[in-house]
Structure 1
Amino acid sequence: MDTSKATEALVVGRYSKNVSTRLDALDAVAPLIYNKRNTDIKDDQKSISSPEELEPEYFSDRAEIERRGQQLAFDYTLTQKSSQSERQARHLLEIARHNDEIVFYSENPGLEGYHGQIHPRFSGDHFLTNLDLIDRTVLFKVAQRMPKGAHLHVHFNSTLLPNALLDIAEKMEQMYISSDKPLTSVENLNTCEVQFLMKAPEVVKGDRLVHINENDSTDAHLLRLLTVSTYDLTWKEWLVSKLVFDDQEVHNSGQTSEGAWEKFNGRTRMMKGLFNYETAFTQYTTECLKEFDEDGIQYAEIRPNFMTTNQIWTDDGTRQLDNKQTMQKIVDQFQKYKSDNKNSKICGLKVIYCTPRSFAADKVQAALDECLKFVVEDGFKDYIAGFDLVGEEAQGKPLKAFIPQFQDFKRKCQQLGVTIPFLFHCGETLELGGDTDGNLVDALLLDSKRIGHGFALARKPYLISEFKKRNICLEVCPISNQVLGLTPRMNGHAIYDLLANDVHCTVNSDNGTLFKSTLSHDFYEVMAGSKAMNLHGWRQLVEWSIDHASLTPQELARLRSVWEPLWNDFIEQINKSLEGIQAIEQPAKREERPEVLQRFASQVKSWEARATDIQDSWSSAFKR
C-alpha cells in the first residue's frame, strides 16, 4: 500500500468508530475524515486561496455545526419568528453598535495604566469607567427607548439618580446630616460615614459639621450647609460623591467583594434618611414612577425594606408612620400618578415585602405575618408581589435558618387560599460549597418563583436542570454585580452561561442610585458584554420579564396588550432613525493617505452628530 497517498487523502480524528457520514461521526464521537480537495490548484495559487477554497467540505461542516448551535440559543425561537421589519432593525442596530465602538471607544484616548501602559477604550470595559462614553452612544439611546416590560428587581430606597434625591432633601426645613468624623480635613471628608435624618429643631445640638470635636458627633442643618464651600467642593457635590461608587474605589487592586459591600452598606445607611419623611417620600414615589415611564418600563415590582428604623417620619420629625401606612402611601401615589398622567404607559406596580436577613427568627416571623396580613386583612391583595429577605448575603443568616418560619408561612397561605411567592435574593456570591451559595438549594425547595441575582447558579449543573424544570427565573443585575465584585467586566458575567443553558433571566438595575445607572444602562451592558447578544436577545429578556412577573392571568394579558404595540413602534423608530446608515471602516494604523483619513474623520463627525440628534428625534416620536 502506498502510505504516502493514504496520508495525503485522509485527515484522521482521535476516535475510531464506523459511521456513514462526517457529521454522523461528529454526533457519535468518531473520526472526522475528509477527502483532500482542490488538488488541481497549482502551488503558486495556494498562497492566494482562502482556507475555505482549499477545504470546502470542512468549512461546510463547520457552518453546519454553528447552525446546530444556533438552534439551541435562548433567543432562537424569537429569531425565527421575527418579522422582516424586526430583522432589519437588528441589522441596523448591529451597524450602529459597530460604529459606536469605533467612534466613541477606539478613537478615544486610551487610559494610562501601570508604568505608562496605555489601555485602549472598549465598550465591554468596567461600567463606571465607561459611563461618560456610554451615555453618548447610539446604542444606549436606543436602549433608553426600548419598551422593557417588567422591572422585577429594584430596591425602592435607591432608585433615583443622586441629584434628584438631594433636590428633594434640600426643600425640607427639618433635614439634618450627621457624620462619624469631624469634617476638618480632606482625609476625614473621604473616609467619614454620613447619614441624613429628620429632627425636631429642639433636639439638634449643633449647627455645622465642620465645628464638631474629634470625640463628638452632632448634626448640621442641611440648608445652611449647602451654602458653604470647602476644599474646592460645594457641599452638594461632596454629598453626591459620598452617595455613589467611583471607578477607582471599585476596581483598585486591593478592593474585594467584602470591601465593596462595606461601602455599599454605608451608602444605604446614608440613603435611609434622604426620603423617609412624609413629603419627601410622596415626592420620591412620584419621581420613581416618572423615571420608570421615561425609561420604558411598563410594570415594576419594587422592594421597600419594612423595618422599624426605615419607617417614615412626619415632616416635623416628631412621629413615625407604621408599615401599613407606608404601604398605603405607595398605593395612593401610584393611583394618583395614573390619574394625573393619562398617557402613562405604566400599567402596574406591586411591592415585594422585604425585611433584613440579619434579623432574628422572631422578627422574620413577624414580617411574614405582617406580609400575610397585608394581603388577607388590609386590602393590599392586588399590590403584594411576594416576600424576600435582603442585605449582604454572606453576612446575613442563610435561608435554612428560617425554614420553620417559611414553611409555616406557606401552610398559612394555603389554608387561606392566597398566593404570596418567595422571591429570594440568593446566589449573589463567588463562594462555592458554603452557606451562601447553599441558599440556591433552599430557594429551590421553598418553591421560589424567582431568585434575585443567582450569579452562583452557573456553576451548579444539577441545580440548573432543577431550576429549569420548575420554571424558576433569575433577576439578573449586571451593573450591581460588577460594582460589588462578582465580575470586573461584563464579558465575564454569569448571565451568558445561564442563557447558554436556556435558564430564564431578566435584566434589572438593583440599586441604580449608587451606581449612577438606570435600567437602560443594564440592558446596554448586556449587549456590550457579548457579540452574540442582539435585538432578538433583548426582546427575549424583556418577554421573560413579563412572563415571570407576579401577575394574575388578567393582569398579564393587560401588560402584554400595552407592551406589544410599544415594541412594534420601537422597531419602526429604529428603522426610521437609522435608515441608510453604513458601517464605518477604520483605516489601518499605518494608513497615511490624506483622502482616506479625511473620509474617516468625516464619518466619525457624522456619527457623533447622529448620536446627538437621535435623542431629539426619538423623544418627539414617542410623545405620540
Structure 2
Amino acid sequence: MKFTQVSQYLPVLALVFGYAYPQTSGNAPSADDPAVQEHLKRRTALISEEKLQRQGMSNNHYSDSPTQSSYIPGAKSKADHDFRSTLSPVAQQAEAIVGAIRQYEIENFWRKPAGIELEDNERFAGEMFANAKPLIPSTKLWGIVSRMPKGSLLHVHSSAILQFETIFNILLETEGIVITASQDVSTVLSAENATLAFSHVSDFAADPKVANVSIESPYYVPGTKVPVTYAAESFSGGRSAFIDFLMTKVAVTRDEVLRHDLGVDEIWRKFQSCFDPAGSTMTYEPVIRKTYQSVFNAWVDDGITWVELRSGGSAKLVPEGEDTVNPDLDFWIHVLLDELQKFQATEKGKGLWGVRIIWADFRGLESSRLLSNMEKAIERKQHFPDLFSGYDVVAQEDLGRTLLDLAPELLWFQNRTQALNITYPFFFHAGETLGDGNSTDDNLFDALLFDSRRIGHGFSLYKHPLLLEQYVEKNILVEVCPISNEVLRLSTDILHHPIPAMIAHGVPTAISNDDPAILGEDSAGLSFDFYQIIQGFDNIGLGGLGALAQNSIRWSNFVDQSQEEWIRDIDLGLNGTGIKAQRLKQWQEKWETYCQWIVEEYADWNATLIVNH
C-alpha cells in the first residue's frame, strides 16, 4: 500500500494515539511530519517486539559462553530467534540478496494475470504445488534453495523415499521381476480399478503362472505373472507409457491433487491405495539395495545429512536369487546397514552422518496385534540399539484409533521399555486434521502427556493457545510437511498453511517431506518443501529458512538420551559438548560456506542492492 493511500487514516491514528495531528485544508501531512514519524516509530517497535517471539522460546538458559555446568533450567532464552538475530555479515548479505531475488520473481515471473476464459493460465506466487511444480525449477530462487544445507530429514516414510520412476527403471533392469494385476487393463475403467504387484521369479519356465501376455489384453487372466520387461514392451506406447501407467498406481496424480472439493477422506483412500503396490516394488533384495544407494545419493545431493526414517520394523525381503520371503525379521535391517556402510565409505558418503529408524505401527491395529508388534519393536531395539530411535503409530488420524484409545497399549510400551532400561521415546503423528476439538485434534493433548519428543504435522496446533505454550515450554518440535498437507487437502496451497502461526507463537518447527514419491514431488529431497516455505511467506527469508534447518539438527535423535539429556542438549545447542553440538557446528560451517556462495554467485544483485540503498 502506498503512503498516499494511508494518509486517509491519519486522523483516526491521531485520536487513538493522542497525536497533535495538524489540521490542514485538505492536504495530507508530509512523510516527515512529527505525527507520521511517531506512528512509524511505534510501528517499528511493535513489529520488533512481535518478532522476538518467533520460532521457539526455550525454557532454559545458558550464558553467552556456557559450559555444561552453566546450564540453568527454568530461565527463558530466545532459542531460534538468536539464529536470525546473530547472522554473520556474509549471511546478512546473502539474506538481502535472496530477498531481492524472491521479490523480483514474485513480480516478474509469478504474477501473470490471465484473460477471460484463459483462467487456467493464471500464475501467482504461492499457487497450488501441482500447478507450480513444473515452473519452480526455472526460477533463480530454486537454484538457491536446492543448494542449501538442509540439515536433517526427520519425517519420511520408507515406502515413499525415492521417486518411483527411478524404482521402475531398477525393476526393468533386474532379472526375474514379474508384474501381476487383479484384472486386465484393456479399458479405462479396468485400468483405473486394477491393483498391481511386483515379485521375483527365479525360473520363469518352472512357474506355471508366468506367461508372456499383455496386461492390456482382454484375455489376461487375473493373477498371471508377466515378466515386467514383456509387460513394458507390449504396452501401448511402449516403456515410457507403461511407466506412466504404473505411476498412476503409486502416486497421487495432478488431477487428484487439485480436487479439494472432494475432501480429506477421498484423497486418503487414493493415498492409502498406493502403499501396497509401492511396497511391492521394494521386496526383492537387489532392488532394495539399489534403491538405498540411489536415495542416499539423492539425500546428499540435496544437502540432507541425517535421516530418521519411519518404517514398519517387521518388513520382510526376498533374498537375491530366491522367490520367497526370508522369515528373519532382521534380514532387511542387515541389508540397510550394509548399504549404508558401503555408501558412507565413499567420498560422497561422508556427507551422510547416518540413518535411524522410528518404528511405525498402523494405528488401526486391534490390541493383541499391536502388542505383538510392540514386542517385535522392543526386540529389534535390543538387537540394534543404535539404529532404532523411537516409536510412532501411522495412517490417517481421522479414521484410525486415537492416542486416547491407544493409551493402554502405549502405557504398556512405556512401562515395558522402562523395566528393560531401554530408551525408546515417542515421536507421534498428531494434529494432522482439519478438526477443532474433535477426537483427532485431541491427539495433540495426548502426545504432550505421553512426552512425545516431536510431533508429525501438528496442523491443528495453532488453534490451541494453551497447547502452544506447553509445546514451547516442553521443547516439542513440529515436523512440518507443507506439500503433504496440501496434497492431502488440509491446506489448499502454501499460503493457507499454518506454519507462520506456529513460528509466530514460538513453536519450534522443522521441514520434512513425509511421502515425497507418492505425493507428487518426484524427488527424494527437501528442496520443494523448502522452496514453498520461503517463497510463500515474507517473514521467513533466508535466515528463517536457515533457522528451520538448524532446528532439524537440534531436534535430531542422534543417540539415545534420557529426557533430561535430550532437553539439555537442545537448549545448549552449539554450546553443548555432545554429538548434537558437534553436528550443529558442522552444519554451521556448511551454512556460512553456502551464504558466501550466494554472495559470490549473485554479486550483481548485491551491487544493485548497495546502489539502491
Counterpart of 1:235 in structure 2 is: 242
**Out of 42, 46, 50, which is 1:61 matched to?**
42
Preserved CA contact (<8 Å) 1:473 1:506: yes
Per the alignment, do residues 118 and 127 of structure 1 end up closer, same or farther by CA in structure 2, a change over 3 Å counting? closer
What is the identity, as a one-letter code, of the residue corresponding to 1:300? V
Larger Rg: 1 or 2?
1
Counterpart of 2:69 in structure 1 is: none
Q: CA separation in 1, counterparts of 2:467 and 2:28? A: 51
Query: Is 2:499 the counterpart of 1:495?
Result: yes
Query: Is 2:21 the counterpart of 1:36?
Result: yes
Query: Is 2:595 the counterpart of 1:571?
Result: yes
Could you say what secondary structure the match of 1:323 adopts? Answer: coil
Could you say what secondary structure the match of 2:532 adopts? Answer: helix
Query: Is 2:264 the counterpart of 1:257?
Result: yes
Could you say what secondary structure the match of 1:576 adopts? Answer: helix
Counterpart of 2:341 in structure 1 is: 335
Per the alignment, do residues 131 and 321 of structure 1 end up closer, same or farther by CA in structure 2, a change over 3 Å counting? farther
Q: CA separation in 2, counterparts of 1:217 and 1:447? A: 47
Deviations 1:384-409 (Å, cap 9, x if unpaired)? 11011121222222222322222122
What is the identity, as a one-letter code, of the residue corresponding to 2:273? G
Q: Which runs of 5+ in 1 are unaligned?
A: 1-9, 14-21, 23-29, 586-624
Deviations 1:544-580 (Å, cap 9, x if unpaired)? 1111111236332342243121111101101110112
What is the identity, as a one-letter code, of the residue corresponding to 1:65? L
Query: Is 2:333 the counterpart of 1:363?
Result: no
**Out of 124, 134, 152, which is 2:126 matched to?**
124
Counterpart of 2:228 in structure 1 is: 222
Q: CA separation in 2, counterparts of 1:508 and 1:420? A: 22
Q: CA separation in 2, counterparts of 1:313 and 1:416? A: 32
Per the alignment, do residues 52 and 334 of structure 1 end up closer, same or farther by CA in structure 2, a change over 3 Å counting? farther
Could you say what secondary structure the match of 2:460 adopts? Answer: helix
Deviations 1:136-173 (Å, cap 9, x if unpaired)? 11111211111111110011111112221111111223
What is the identity, as a one-letter code, of the residue corresponding to 1:96? I
Query: Is 2:540 the counterpart of 1:555?
Result: no
Could you say what secondary structure the match of 1:167 adopts? Answer: helix
Deviation at 1:83, TM superposition (A): 1.2
Counterpart of 2:424 in structure 1 is: 420
Deviations 1:209-230 (Å, cap 9, x if unpaired)? 1235598443332111111341
Q: CA separation in 1, counterparts of 2:174 and 2:501? A: 48
Counterpart of 2:70 in structure 1 is: none
Preserved CA contact (<8 Å) 1:155 1:302: yes
Per the alignment, do residues 266 and 213 of structure 1 end up closer, same or farther by CA in structure 2, a change over 3 Å counting? farther
What is the identity, as a one-letter code, of the residue corresponding to 1:35? A
Deviations 1:163-184 (Å, cap 9, x if unpaired)? 2111111122332223333211
Counterpart of 2:71 in structure 1 is: none
Q: CA separation in 2, counterparts of 1:287 and 1:215? A: 35
Counterpart of 1:83 in structure 2 is: 88
Q: How many residues align?
A: 550
Preserved CA contact (<8 Å) 1:208 1:221: no
Counterpart of 1:179 in structure 2 is: 181
Could you say what secondary structure the match of 1:329 adopts? Answer: helix
Per the alignment, do residues 83 and 340 of structure 1 end up closer, same or farther by CA in structure 2, a change over 3 Å counting? closer
What is the identity, as a one-letter code, of the residue corresponding to 1:556? K
What is the identity, as a one-letter code, of the residue corresponding to 1:445? L
Query: Is 2:492 the counterpart of 1:507?
Result: no
Deviation at 1:285, TM superposition (A): 1.3
Q: CA separation in 2, counterparts of 1:212 and 1:442? A: 52
Counterpart of 1:317 in structure 2 is: 323
Higher relative contact order (CA 8 A, sep 6+): 2
Preserved CA contact (<8 Å) 1:299 1:559: no
Q: Which runs of 5+ in 2 are unaligned?
A: 1-9, 56-79, 560-568, 570-577
Per the alignment, do residues 116 and 142 of structure 1 end up closer, same or farther by CA in structure 2, a change over 3 Å counting? closer
Could you say what secondary structure the match of 2:390 adopts? Answer: strand
Could you say what secondary structure the match of 2:434 adopts? Answer: coil
Q: CA separation in 1, counterparts of 2:176 and 2:439? A: 44
Q: CA separation in 2, counterparts of 1:253 and 1:561? A: 43
**Out of 517, 528, 534, which is 2:535 matched to?**
528
What is the identity, as a one-letter code, of the residue corresponding to 1:421? P
Counterpart of 1:463 in structure 2 is: 467
What are the equivalent positions in structure 2 for 1:260-275 lying under 5 Å apart? 260-275=267-282
Give aligned-pair identity as a percent.
25
